[in-house]
Structure 1
């Protein structure tokens, strides 16, 4: 038993000098309740063959569109004329491969300054 600041003896070990409970928070008690909350919202759905086929076709269509857009972009970039000296300059200054230097120049329509700035960012 311990003495309180006002001289009274503390009779109950769970109460402090001001009559408040000193229960420590229990760290692991809330875990089970939280887990139940999570599992209450999870619903298992059965995937049917038709749903799977439609999902796969949507994914396939999206990939096809992305690939065609990428091919179009590559065709547009191939049309841009670049100077060999500019490619060499970027390769030596940035210490990058020829293909990366050419790509950067083509993306910036042959502008060396813009290509260099984009490579440093």
Structure 2
């Protein structure tokens, strides 16, 4: 099994879970506005950091990749397959957070708020 095979399997599972969590959050009313934008920015930042720090670790000879199991696409010194893990984390963790968040409490109606203010006056 190559690194790409492993990454594709993991990402397929993550995408299914991400979609399921977003559907649950939307139904529960816990999906924040601009959720997709926040996830996209998170994934981009995580991928950039992964490329930078993986490249530094490879240059420092902290670890090596089996060249026969890579696609050959290298970003600085990091293999493309290594971006699967920040992508998976950036998709799954925020989706789990919104799916498992407590339901928002319903705001009080204006009439009941007026009554509460009059009672405390």
Q: TM-score range by the shorter chain?
A: under 0.3
Q: TM-score, normalised by structure 2?
A: 0.26
Greater radius of gyration (CA) = 1
TM-score (norm 1): 0.26
Higher relative contact order (CA 8 A, sep 6+): 2
Higher helix share: 2
